[in-house]
Structure 1
């Protein structure tokens, strides 16, 4: 009887080590994906802002609001890029599982992630600015577009909540 208990403890110990290993791999993968999203967001943001700044010109009004605009633009771009990377990773994982199981539930999740991916792509700040510029007009409306965009804190918060939800879903899915 004592041996069975010891075997269970050993098996439990092995199982615990295995679970800890999976948990560490999941956390490491999550960290790497988030860093990849941050790096992608920084690159996209820098390229977009430099192109936008040369196009906007250096009027006194623009120079006055540029720091807060560029900060919000950069933060939102980084958060959205993190979401995009997480969504692509989740899509890849669920696609792999769907190929094995052909589960309708997994197909539903894949479609859900595709819709979220499209939503995130359409939320990229540069795309919003370009559509505003086309609508309002290039030189005439730049200041008002930038002015309106610098107060987009609620949009940033909404994307941040999406990031938290995707991190939780990724962590649970990979376990």
Structure 2
């Protein structure tokens, strides 16, 4: 029997729409309460910024998240992702385009919320792979190497990945 876990993807390019902060978040969970929206905004490190915006949750974004910085847009995408509450997370280059400090903060917040979930990270970045318990290296679409955290090979593989 073949089965699959319900999953949520988060890619390097999450689309934000010309709409309110709340409506952009509710794309992931239309039934989300205001309390849940603030909870995920807090987890994503964006709540204080949204509280300072005129209209707060009803503040309107421009096309593609205009009105937010790149890091703030990424945090809003993270907050939306956290509303999905699926057991399998697929993360594809989620910190691409972010400075190192913002990227590490976003990753720490993501993984702090990942307890009890299976997380698959697709990356060329060392900072993303450092959170992995196990690294599988693919070459030409096939498994090429595999290593566990805490082994000497793990550090060797991490050092082959792109630094900040």
Q: Same fold (TM over 0.5)?
A: no
> Greater strand percent: which structure?
2
Structure 1 or 2, whichever has the larger Rg, is: 1
Q: TM-score, normalised by structure 2?
A: 0.25
Work out which structure has the larger RCO, using CA pairs closer than 8 Å and 6 or more positions apart in sequence. Answer: 1
Q: TM-score, normalised by structure 1?
A: 0.24
> Greater helix percent: which structure?
1
